[in-house]
Chain A
Amino acid sequence: DIQMTQSPATLSASVGDRVTITCRATQSISRYLNWYQQKPGKVPKLLIHTASSLQSGVPSRFSGGGSGTDFTLTISSLELEDCATYYCQQSYTTPWTFGQGTKVEIK
């Protein structure tokens, strides 16, 4: 199975900060990488698919990058409502696997 490792596990930043989360795969997955946001007590929501394509309705402050084994999710200017846990997920091959999540907190 392809293992997905996210870093950091927790991130604390101030409103307006630029924030970057990293996701690494144990083998090349091309651009078969998706990002999800889960707010406390809520259902996960698709943010970005295919490494860098913003899902409809997602604010443009979110962006994704990378290919192969290394990927990033960037929030260009952190807002209060971005307090959530973010998960990467590969769909290169089954079983589809998730990263362990990165919790973003507001200072």
Chain B
Amino acid sequence: QVRLVQSGAEVKKPGASVKVSCKLSGNTLSETSMHWVRQAPGKGLEWMGGSDPEDAKTIYAQKFQGRVTMTEDTSTDTAYMELSGLRSEDTAVYYCVADDGYCSGGSCFYYLDVWGKGTTVTVSS
């Protein structure tokens, strides 16, 4: 059974960076495509980026380009998301998510299957 365990809550000042970790168990990172989704207080879900399941390249949402870096340590099956230049609008719960999918009739379908419990990042002066 795949499980994702995320690092603990963070409080950062504006302009700082935060790095959130996500340890995978029940599978290996080399077999899994990981994504990061965030949710600001009282708001909806926002996909930040992740590993494209088709070619394993890391893709970032344009909104976060230049500020976010997603990396993986396959020796420890741990994924990381680092967000720099923090501002108050970055206050949110950050989820790592493992996708799953299947191929049928020449098409491959993917979905966000297993979610971590989330890491609360608070940006405040």
Contact = CB atoms under 8 A, between A and B. Distances in A.
A11 interface: no
B62 A36 contact: no
Contacts of B59: 94-95
B44 A100 contact: yes
B111 A34 contact: yes
Nearest to A6: B44
A24 interface: no
A99 B110 CA distance: 17
The interface centre, meaning the residue of B35, B37, B109, B118 with most chain A CB atoms within 10 A of its CB, is: B109
Contacts, number: 57
Dominant secondary structure at the A interface: loop
Interface residues of B, number: 23
Interface of A: 1, 30-32, 34, 36, 38, 43-46, 49-50, 85, 87, 89, 91, 94-101
Given A44-B115, A95-B62, A99-B44, 12 more contacts: A31-B109, A43-B95, A43-B115, A43-B117, A44-B112, A46-B112, A50-B109, A50-B111, A91-B110, A94-B59, A96-B112, A101-B44
Interface of B: 35, 37, 44-47, 49-50, 52, 59, 61-62, 95, 107, 109-113, 115-118
13 contacts: A32-B109, A36-B112, A43-B117, A43-B118, A45-B115, A49-B109, A50-B109, A50-B111, A89-B47, A91-B109, A95-B59, A96-B47, A101-B44
